[in-house]
Amino acid sequence: MPADRPLDILLTGDASNFHPTLADALCRLGHRVTVASGGCTGWMQTRRDVDIARRLPGKLGGLDLWARLRLNRRRLFSGYDIVSIASQDFVPLRPARVRALFDRLKADNRAIFYTALGTDWRYTEECLDPSTPLVVNEFISHGEPTPYYRAEPDSVDAWRRGELLSVGRHIYSNVDGAVSALWEYDVALRRFFTPDRMAYGGIPVDTSAIEYRDLPERPDRVRLFLGRHRDRTLLKGADILEAAARAVVERHPGKAELVIVENRPYAEYLGLLESSHIVLDQIYSYTPATNALLAMAMGKAAVSGGDERFYSFIGEERLRPVLHVEPDYESVERAIEQAVLHPDKLRERGRAGREFVEKHNDSLVVARRFLDFWTSRLC
């Protein structure tokens, strides 16, 4: 059913400023939106209206947060038309309490939805299933464990057993529907949800707030930019991106340089990103995610996911802005070197990237997808 009045919406949890960006667009469309999150890690500090971060370390931090949630449940977390939770770990509590909070949110509000924008039990199962179309992912690449899976097998397998599996299945079974942020997550959702209970949303980017600038027609020295989470280097392939980029810079020191930043607040990170020509994002993906989309909106080239199955999925026949690479050192090094040796092609790629983001990921475009699906599921 279409919304015939402004909706009251609660967005809970966050990843890479997803919910604040979506909230701003929903507000511009006339709805009332509250963001409750922990700021997306201790250092990113994304905007939120209600803080649900742990203020203390260890078990004491969990008890403090749980007490705050219980004390403010009726005042801050009830009476909404729509609640959307960001993945399975939308609140930093142990699984049993995540489940209890989910159940209260479901009971105290009109409808509750799931946004798949990070690792959860179903995505992990999909990635490790030999029959999956996601033959490249963070855990398995062409049938072989990735460096991350080899280094952290228990962390990956924990999603597939015990409390994490139980809570994940409970949430999936009881939400009113689910929206995917990436094609990969959409693939995973399809194994559980019927088509009427799921939709593709995409990652929102506020293009009105991001200034586009043409890259130099032929930059004298190509600036390669690698922004990373210190604890997620292997997960996104930043180790391979760094090694390949360093090798190219060493061979062509007068033509390229590498800038590496990590664990910076979101606002500061955007400022650092603006000075680059090519952004090195990730290698185990089919879809450009937040880092690449922000760079593309600025007019930068991006090394990230840009597989033909993703372009087909979103119905894009013309634009191919992403420097797509295979998840191996040789492919990454070759792509970076070709970009450095042919800098005259970067400006056109940057222009195509901005056009792509405006067409497919502008926050108003994404917000309307969410609204269309949410309202179709409201009773």
Token code pair at residue 48 = 């939120």
- Alpha-carbon span 113 to 135, nearest angstrom: 28
- What's the mean pLDDT in 179-193? 98
7-41 burial, b if ≥16 CB within 10 A, otherwise e? bbbbbbbbbbbbbbbbbbbbeebebebbbbbbbbb
**Could you say which DSSP state residue 201 is in?**
-
Side chain identity at 193, as an amino acid letter? F
Cα 61 to the chain's mean position, in Å?
A: 26
More confident residue, 171 or 57: 171
Structure token digits, residue 104: 């209260």
Give the pLDDT band (50/70/90) at residue 2. low
Q: Comparing 8-204+362-377 with 208-360, is the CATH topology the same?
A: yes
8-204+362-377: CATH, from 3.30.9.100, 3.40.50.720, 3.40.50.2000, 3.30.420.40:
3.40.50.2000
Radius of gyration of the chain (CA): 21
| Superfamily in which the 208-360 domain is placed by CATH | Glycogen Phosphorylase B; (3.40.50.2000)
What gap in Å lies between CA 159 and CA 377, rounded to an integer? Answer: 28
Q: What are the structure tokens assigned to 339, written together?
A: 């970009």
Residues 6 or more apart whose CB falls under 8 angstroms from that of 268 comprise none
- Report the alpha-carbon distance of residue 16 to residue 69 in Å, rounded: 23
Helix (H) or strand (E) holding 18, with range, is: helix 18-28
What is the SS3 assignment for 116? strand
Bridge partners, 121 (sequence order)? none
Residue pLDDT, tens place only, 205-260: 999 999 999 999 888 899 999 988 777 788 889 999 999 999 999 999 999 999 99
The whole-number average pLDDT for the span 318-331 is 94
pLDDT at 189 over 90: yes
Q: Read off the amino acid at residue 262.
A: E
Calculate the dihedral angle through the C-alpha atoms of 87, 90, 94, 96, rounding to the nearest 10 degrees. Answer: -70
Q: Where are the domains of the chain?
A: 8-204+362-377, 208-360
Average pLDDT over residues 312-338: 95
CA distances from 263 to 62, 69, 178 (A): 23, 28, 30
| Token couple for 66 | 């749980």
State the greatest distance between any 2 C-alpha atoms of the chain, in Å, as a whole number: 63
333-350: b (≥16 Cβ within 10 Å) or e: bebbbebbeebeebbebb
| Residue 104 pLDDT exceeds 60 | yes
- pTM comes to 0.94
CB atoms within 10 A of CB 78: 15
CA distances from 265 to 24, 60, 232, 272 (A): 19, 26, 16, 11
Of 152, 137, 18, nearest in space to 87 by CA: 18
User: How does strand 144-145 pair with strand 140-141?
Assistant: antiparallel
pLDDT at 43 over 70: no
Pairing of strands 8-12, 32-37: parallel
What is the average per-residue pLDDT within 279-306? 95
| Amino acid sitting at position 63 | L
Q: Provide the token pair at 217.
A: 């027609």
Task: Count Cα neighbours of 52 within 13 Å in the Cβ-side half-sphere.
Answer: 26
Alpha helix stretches (DSSP H) within 226-343: 233-236, 238-251, 266-273, 290-298, 308-313, 329-341
Which two structure tokens, joined as six digits, stand for 156?
């990956």
% residues pLDDT > 70 (the chain): 98
